C-alpha cells in the first residue's frame, strides 16, 4: 500500500510523476503529493484525496524541475490529511522523502529525536526517517547515500523509500525492505523509480528489482550503484520488462473492473496456453516438474493467501483432494504467520497472491521456509517479491489487474490450481486417463463458456436494479461452489458496501437462516453436479421463509426455475471447473450494484490493492 514514484532526468519531472501516481493509485488514494527540485529549492505540493485532487491543488502546472518524487498514500500512521501526506521534509528542509511501509520503532526514534531538539509537523513514521537521515548526515559529515545506509540500520520495519537532496540535483537515493521498489534505467543518466514497473514501462524496458536491505545511488553521471545496508557492494541485475502499456489502459471501458471482468476469456486462455496438450492428454507445468519428487512424495499441502486469493485457495483444496488425493489445509496467511503451525519438510506450501507483495502472505512464506517446507508461488505480477521468495512457482498470466476488486486474478488463480492438481494427479497416478482427458477438454473450452456467462450481463444488470438497495445479502454454495459464495459476498461488500455473507448452503440452518425474511436477497449457486439436489433443498428452505432467491443455474435448468425469483444461466461444465464460470455473474452483479449506488467501482473506500502492511 502506498505508491511511490521518482524521476531523475532531463525533462520536466512533474508530468512523469503525475502519470506514474495515477498508475499506482490502486495502492492507496488517501492523499497524494510531489516534491520537485529546481534551482536549489524544493517545491512541495500535497493534499488529502486522489491524484486528480493533487492536480487541481497544483493548478496550472508551474512546477519546474527535472528531479522529483511523488507519493500516493494509504494511511497507516496518522489520518489522511494534507499534513500527513507525503513527501515529507527533514527538519532543515534539505531533504524530501517518500515512503511505503511501516517503521515499527518510529515512536522510540521519534522520542530520541525530540529529546535532541527535533520538531515534527506530521504524525507519520516517515517524517521521523527524514529527520534521522539528516541528523546522521550532519553528525557523520558523510554523503547522503552513506547517511541513508547508516540510518536504515537503526530502523525496524518495512520501507521502500526515495530521498531527494536540495543541494544535489544529480542524485536520488532509493532503498527497500519488505516493500517493493523497481528502478528503471533510461538513456543518458535518466532514472525512474516505482513501487512497481507501471510508471516506468513507457520510458524504458530495462529495470532492476531491488532486493531487501539494499540502498541504491542513482547518479546522472556516475550511474547506478547498489550496496546492502551492511555496506556490501552488489552488482545491479538488469532485467527486461515484460509489460505492455495497453494493459494499463481502460481500453474503452468506463472502469478497470469491467474491463478486467470482460478480459477473462483471454486471461484464462493465456493461463493454460502451452500448459495443456489435448493430443497427448497431458498437463505440464515446469514449476512442478523441477521438483517432481517433492510433489510425488508430498504428505500434505498447505495453501496460504488473503482475501480473494484465500478463496482461490479454498477451491484449490477441493481440487487437490479430489483430483490428486493429497490432504490440504487452507490458511489465512495472517493467522498462519502468528500461530506455531506444525510444518514438516515433506509438506508443500502454496502461496497465492495476485500482487505478489502481500505482507502477510510473504511472512507466512518466510515462516514455512524456516521450517523446511517446499514453497510454491502462484502469483500474477511477474518479478514480484513473493515470486522471487518461493522455491518454484507458476505465474497466472492474467495481465495487470488495476481495479481494486480482484476478478480476473481469481479465475486465473483457480485455473492454475486446476492445472497444478492435474499435473500432480498424473505424477501420482491418482487420476484415470479418461477423467484427465475429459478435464483437459473442458479446460480448453473454458474461455468460450466464460464468454457465454458474460452474456448474462443484461439480465444481471436488471437483477442488480431490483436489489441495489438491499442492506444485507446471503450467498450460498456447496462443494466446489462454496468458495464462490464467499467470493461473491466479498465482491459485493467491498465495492458496494452492502453487508454480505457467504455460507456453505447446508450451514444455513445452523444460524443464518434466522436472518431470512422477504427483504433478504439470497444468491445461490445451484448448478448441475454432485450437490445439485441438496442445494435445491436448501433453496426450498429459503423459499419457505420468503427470502428472495436469485439462482445461478446450468443452462436449461427447469426445476429451480419454478422456485427462484430470478435465474441466471451459465453453460454446463465439470464440477471442478464450475467455480470459474459461476463467479462471472457474481462479479458483474457487484459491479452493477456498486455503480447504481454511486460507489467508486475501481477505488472502493478504505481499500488498496497491494496490502504491503500487516
Ligand atoms: C478482493 C481483493 C483482496 C485481495 C487480497 C490479497 O477483491 O482484491 O481481498 O485478494 O488483498 O491480495 P493478493 O492476491 O495481491 O495477495
Tens-digit pLDDT profile for residues 318-351: 999 999 999 999 999 999 988 888 998 899 999 9
Q: H/E element holding 503?
A: strand 499-504
Q: With a 6 A CB cut-off, is 387 part of the ligand 1 pocket? A: no
Instruction: Tell whether the model's pLDDT for residue 487 goes beyond 90.
Output: yes
Q: Where are the domains of the chain?
A: 3-247, 256-451, 455-601
Q: Ligand 1 centroid to 142 CA: how many Å?
A: 42
Give the CATH superfamily of 256-451.
Answer: Glucose-6-phosphate isomerase like protein; domain 1 (3.40.50.10490)
Share above pLDDT 70 across residues of the chain, in percent, rounded to a whole number: 99
Q: For position 249, what pLDDT does the model report? A: 83
Categorize the per-residue pLDDT at 610 as very low, low, confident or very high, splitting at 50, 70 and 90.
confident
Which residue, among 221, 96, 112, has the nearest Cα to 167 in the 3D structure?
A: 96
Q: What is the pTM of this model?
A: 0.85
Categorize the per-residue pLDDT at 291 as very low, low, confident or very high, splitting at 50, 70 and 90.
very high
Cell output for 412: 486465473
What's the average model confidence in pLDDT over 138-164? Answer: 95
Q: Whose CA is nearest to atom 11 of ligand 1?
A: 307
Which ligand 1 atom is nearest residue 358's CA? 16
Strand duo 548-554 + 521-525: pairing: parallel
Categorize the per-residue pLDDT at 609 as very low, low, confident or very high, splitting at 50, 70 and 90.
confident
CA dist., res. 27 & res. 184, Å (int): 19
Pick among 3.40.50.10490, 3.40.50.920, 3.30.70.20, 3.10.450.50: CATH of 455-601? 3.40.50.10490
Which tens digit of pLDDT belongs to each residue from 192-204? 999 999 999 999 9
Q: For position 499, what pLDDT does the model report? A: 97
Q: For position 413, what pLDDT does the model report? A: 98
Q: Whose CA is nearest to atom 16 of ligand 1?
A: 353
Radius of gyration, alpha carbons of the chain: 25
Q: Where are the alpha helices (DSSP H) in 25-158?
A: 51-58, 106-115, 125-140, 144-152
Domain spanning 3-247, CATH architecture: 4-Layer Sandwich (3.60)
Q: With a 6 A CB cut-off, is 531 part of the ligand 1 pocket? A: no
Q: With a 6 A CB cut-off, is 406 part of the ligand 1 pocket? A: yes
Instruction: Tell whether the model's pLDDT for residue 605 goes beyond 90.
Output: no
Strand duo 206-209 + 182-185: pairing: antiparallel
Q: With a 6 A CB cut-off, is 361 part of the ligand 1 pocket? A: yes
Categorize the per-residue pLDDT at 169 as very low, low, confident or very high, splitting at 50, 70 and 90.
very high
Q: For position 253, what pLDDT does the model report? A: 94
Catalytic residues: 2, 609
Q: For position 61, what pLDDT does the model report? A: 65
Q: With a 6 A CB cut-off, is 612 part of the ligand 1 pocket? A: no
Q: For position 596, what pLDDT does the model report? A: 98
Lowest-confidence segment of 52-66, 161-175, 550-564 by average pLDDT: 52-66
Nearest-5° Cα angle at 204, 198 to 209: 60
Q: Ligand 1 centroid to 354 CA: how many Å?
A: 7
Cell output for 256: 478497470
Compute CA 291 distance to the chain's CA centroid, rounded to the nearest angstrom: 27
Q: Ligand 1 centroid to 405 CA: how many Å?
A: 7
Q: What is the mean pLDDT of the chain?
A: 94
Fold match between domain 3-247 and domain 256-451: no
Q: With a 6 A CB cut-off, is 307 part of the ligand 1 pocket? A: yes
Q: What is the DSSP letter of 523?
A: E
| 275 φ/ψ angles, rounded to the nearest 5 degrees | -110, -20
Categorize the per-residue pLDDT at 62 as very low, low, confident or very high, splitting at 50, 70 and 90.
low
Categorize the per-residue pLDDT at 513 as very low, low, confident or very high, splitting at 50, 70 and 90.
confident
Amino acid at each position: 500500500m502506498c505508491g511511490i514514484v521518482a524521476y531523475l532526468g532531463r525533462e520536466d519531472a512533474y508530468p512523469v510523476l503525475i502519470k506514474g501516481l495515477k498508475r499506482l493509485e490502486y495502492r492507496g488514494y488517501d492523499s497524494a503529493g510531489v516534491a520537485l527540485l529546481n534551482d536549489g529549492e524544493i517545491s512541495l505540493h500535497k493534499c488529502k484525496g486522489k491524484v486528480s485532487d493533487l492536480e487541481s491543488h497544483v493548478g496550472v502546472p508551474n512546477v519546474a524541475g527535472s528531479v522529483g518524487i511523488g507519493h500516493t498514500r494509504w494511511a497507516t500512521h496518522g489520518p489522511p490529511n494534507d499534513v500527513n501526506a507525503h513527501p515529507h521534509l527533514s527538519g532543515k528542509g534539505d531533504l524530501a522523502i517518500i515512503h511505503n511501509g511501516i517503521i515499527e520503532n518510529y515512536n522510540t526514534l521519534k522520542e530520541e529525536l525530540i529529546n535532541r531538539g527535533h520538531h515534527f509537523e506530521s504524525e507519520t513514521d516517515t517524517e521521523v526517517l527524514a529527520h534521522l537521515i539528516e541528523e546522521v548526515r550532519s553528525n557523520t559529515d558523510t554523503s547522503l547515500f552513506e547517511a541513508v545506509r547508516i540510518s536504515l540500520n537503526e530502523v525496524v520495519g518495512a520501507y521502500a523509500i526515495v530521498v531527494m537532496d536540495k543541494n544535489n540535483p544529480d542524485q536520488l537515493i532509493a532503498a527497500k525492505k519488505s516493500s517493493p521498489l523497481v528502478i528503471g534505467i533510461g538513456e543518458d543518466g535518466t532514472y525512474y523509480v516505482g513501487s512497481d514497473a507501471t510508471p516506468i514501462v513507457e520510458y524504458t524496458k530495462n529495470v532492476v528489482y531491488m532486493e531487501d536491505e539494499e540502498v541504491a545511488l542513482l547518479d546522472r553521471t556516475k550511474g547506478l550503484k547498489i550496496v546492502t545496508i551492511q555496506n556490501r557492494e552488489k552488482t545491479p541485475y538488469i532485467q527486461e520488462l515484460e509489460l505492455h502499456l495497453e494493459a494499463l489502459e481502460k481500453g474503452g471501458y468506463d472502469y478497470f473492473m469491467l474491463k478486467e471482468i470482460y478480459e477473462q476469456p483471454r486471461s484464462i486462455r493465456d493461463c493454460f496456453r502451452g500448459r495443456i496438450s489435448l493430443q497427448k492428454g497431458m498437463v505440464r507445468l515446469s514449476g512442478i516438474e523441477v521438483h517432481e519428487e517433492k510433489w510425488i512424495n508430498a504428505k500434505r499441502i498447505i495453501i496460504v493467501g488473503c482475501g480473494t486469493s484465500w478463496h482461490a485457495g479454498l477451491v484449490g483444496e477441493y481440487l487437490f483432494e479430489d483430483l490428486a488425493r493429497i490432504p490440504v489445509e487452507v490458511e489465512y496467511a495472517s493467522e498462519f504467520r502468528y500461530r506455531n503451525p506444525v510444518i514438516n519438510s515433506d509438506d508443500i506450501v502454496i502461496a497465492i497472491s495476485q500482487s505478489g507483495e502481500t505482507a502477510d502472505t510473504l511472512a507466512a512464506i518466510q515462516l514455512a521456509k524456516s521450517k523446511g517446507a517446499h514453497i510454491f508461488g502462484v502469483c500474477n505480477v511477474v518479478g514480484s517479491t513473493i515470486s522471487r521468495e518461493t522455491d518454484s512457482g507458476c505465474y497466472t498470466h492474467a495481465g495487470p489487474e488495476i481495479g481494486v476488486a480482484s476478478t480476473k486474478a481469481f479465475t486465473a488463480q483457480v485455473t492454475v490450481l486446476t492445472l497444478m492438481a492435474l499435473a500432480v494427479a498424473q505424477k501420482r497416478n491418482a487420476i484415470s486417463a479418461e477423467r484427465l482427458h475429459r478435464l483437459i477438454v473442458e479446460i480448453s473450452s473454458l474461455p468460450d463458456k466464460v464468454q457465454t456467462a458474460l452474456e448474462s450481463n443484461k439480465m444481471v444488470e436488471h437483477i442488480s436494479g431490483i436489489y441495489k438497495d438491499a442492506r444485507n445479502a446471503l450467498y450460498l454454495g456447496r462443494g466446489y461452489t462454496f468458495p464462490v459464495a464467499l467470493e461473491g459476498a466479498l465482491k459485493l461488500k467491498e465495492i458496494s458496501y452492502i453487508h454480505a455473507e457467504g455460507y456453505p448452503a447446508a450451514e444455513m440452518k445452523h444460524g443464518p437462516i434466522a436472518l431470512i425474511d422477504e427483504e433478504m436477497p439470497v444468491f445461490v449457486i445451484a448448478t448441475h453436479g454432485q450437490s445439485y439436489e441438496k442445494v435445491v433443498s436448501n433453496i426450498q428452505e429459503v423459499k419457505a421463509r420468503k427470502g428472495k432467491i436469485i439462482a445461478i443455474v446450468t443452462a436449461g435448468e427447469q426445476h429451480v426455475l419454478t422456485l427462484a425469483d430470478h435465474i441466471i444461466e451459465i453453460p454446463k461444465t465439470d464440477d471442478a471447473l464450475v467455480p470459474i464460470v459461476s463467479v462471472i455473474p457474481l462479479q458483474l452483479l457487484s459491479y452493477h450494484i456498486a455503480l447504481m449506488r454511486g460507489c467508486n467501482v475501481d477505488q472502493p473506500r478504505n481499500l488498496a490493492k497491494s496490502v504491503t502492511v500487516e
